[in-house]
Amino acid sequence: MINWPEVMRRAEAGNPKPPRRVEKTPEAWRALLAPEVFEVTRLAGTERPFSSEMCSRFDAGKYACACCETLLFDASEKFDSGTGWPSFTQPVDAAAVAYVGDHSRGMMRMEAICAVCDAHLGHVFPDGPPPSGLRYCMNAVSLQKAGA
């Protein structure tokens, strides 16, 4: 189970090697992705809070990266954080998500990215429910239901 000290350690010392890599030029990503998905995942944008019905949906299933279809989260780890973005307590695999220190907006946050294609997913915070204590605050457009 990933916890906050491990997130910090990975951001500082390096993330584990992902099982595979998907790399494309910005032009190739732009041609492949819807404009709002490109903005969030490739340019580290943020969707408006409460702009997706994914926040209030708790259907069983798994969520994958909208760019490379890497499996990222299981719905069993999803919870209502009240923040306006889909939130999870753990990734489905410890190597699926990588962490990068984000010093933008005058604060220190921990960016969560897809370990396979470097897509910006959102941020992880140490204020989630037990047992991990983590809140993966994800942009809904960065995720897709697996198999969808």
Decide if 55 is catalytic: no
Average pLDDT over residues 92-121: 89
| pLDDT above 80: residue 105 | no
- d(Cα 130, Cα 110) in Å, to the nearest integer? 19
Domain count for the chain: 1
d(CA 113, CA 99): 6
- Show the domain range for 100: 4-145
Q: What confidence tier does 106 reach under pLDDT thresholds 50, 70, 90?
A: low
Residue 148's pLDDT is 58
Q: One of 67, 68, 117, 137 is an active-site residue; which one?
A: 137
- Upstream peptide bond of 18 is cis (omega within 30 degrees of 0): no
What's the CATH code of the domain at 25?
2.170.150.20
pLDDT, average across residues 38-66: 93
Residue in the block written with tokens 């494309």: 24
Please report which confidence band the pLDDT of residue 57 belongs to, taking 50, 70 and 90 as the band edges: confident
- Given a cut of 70, whether residue 107 has pLDDT beyond it is no
Q: What is the largest CA-CA distance in the chain?
A: 41
* 95 half-sphere exposure, CB direction, 13 A CA radius: 7
Query: Is 103 a residue whose pLDDT tops 80?
Result: no
What per-residue confidence (pLDDT) applies to 55?
A: 84
